[in-house]
Structure 1
Amino acid sequence: MPLTKHLLADKRLLFIAIIYSCLITVLFFIPSQDLPKTQLLEADKIVHILVYFILVNLWMLYLYVSNDYHFEKKWIPILLLSILLYGIIIEIFQGLFTVSRSADILDVVSNLLGSLLGIFFFKIVKQKLKA
C-alpha cells in the first residue's frame, strides 16, 4: 500500500474510533427518562456489552492497521485496562453528576464482558483472514 494511502487509512480509523468514543460518552449521560423503555433489566446490560464490543474492536483495528497489519499481544492488557478504566470513570460520573442515572457495578461487569468478547472476536477474525 502506498505510504500516503496508508497514512490516510490510519487517520480515518483513528477518527472513527475517537468519534465513537465521544458519541458513547455523550449517550451514557443522556437522562434515563429520554431513553427507550424496556421491561428487561438485561437489555441495558446487553447494550453495554455491544457498545464495548464495538469500542474495543475499533481501537484494536486502528492499532492493527497503523502498525502495518501487525498486532502485538502486549497491547491487549493496555487497551483492556484503558477501556475498563474509561467505563469505571463513566459510571462514577453518572453517579456524581446526573440525576436520573446511577453508578452500577453490573454495568462495569457488562463493559468488561463486551470488551473481552471484542478482543476474542478480533483475534479470531484476524486469524481467519490470515489463513
Structure 2
Amino acid sequence: MTPLIKKLLVGRNLLLVALFYSSAITCLFFLSSQDLPKTQISEADKLIHVSIYFILINLWLLYFYVRNNLKIENKLILIILFSVLFYGIIIEIFQELFTDSRSADILDVAANLLGALLGIFFFKNIKHKLKPKYFN
C-alpha cells in the first residue's frame, strides 16, 4: 500500500464516526420543532447546542490528531473551529430559509461557539493522555 493511502486510512473509524455524527445532527437540525420533545427549561435548547458542538469539535479534533500521529497544530485547531462555526451559521440560515417551524437564532450560534470553545479547551487538556495503541 502506498504511503498516501496508508495515511488516509489512519483513523478511518474515527472519520466514519465524525461523518456520521455530522450527518445525524444536520438531519436533527431540520426536524420540525413540533417533532422535538418539549422541555420545561427554556435554556435547554442552548445547553443542547453547547453539548452538540462540544462533541462535534472533539470528534473532528480527535480524527485529525490521530491522523497526524498524535500531533495537532494550533493552526489546524483554528481551521476546525472556523469550519464548525461556519457549518453552524449555515445551518441557522438554512433553518430560516427552508423550514416552517424553525428560525435562525443568533443565540444558537453563540451557544455553538461556546460548545466548540469548551470542546477545544477539553481536548487540549486530555490529548496527552491518549495512547497510540488505542488508535492502531
Q: Same fold, TM exceeding 0.5?
A: yes
Q: Which residue of 1 aligns with 2:98?
A: 97
Q: Which residue of 1 aligns with 2:134?
A: none
Q: Which residue of 2 aligns with 1:53?
A: 54
Letter in 1 for 2:44: A
Q: Which residue of 1 aligns with 2:115?
A: 114
Q: Which residue of 2 aligns with 1:21?
A: 22
Indicate yes or no: 2:85 matched with 1:84.
yes
Residue segments in structure 2 that go unaligned for 5+ positions in a row: 132-136
CA deviation vs aligned residue, 1:36-55 (integer Å, no higher than 9, x gap) = 00122200000000000000
CA deviation vs aligned residue, 1:1-27 (integer Å, no higher than 9, x gap) = xx9998655111001000000000000
Residue segments in structure 1 that go unaligned for 5+ positions in a row: none
CA deviation vs aligned residue, 1:58-102 (integer Å, no higher than 9, x gap) = 000000001111111111111110000000000000001000000
Give distance in 2, aligned partners of 1:8 and 1:75: 19
RMSD: 1.9
Letter in 2 for 1:57: N
TM-score by length of 2: 0.87
Structure 1 residue ranges, 4+ long, deviating more than 2 angstroms after superposition = 3-9, 127-130
Deviates more, 1:36-45 or 1:86-95: 36-45
Identity %: 64
Give distance in 1, aligned partners of 2:129 and 2:102: 41
Q: Which residue of 2 aligns with 1:124?
A: 125
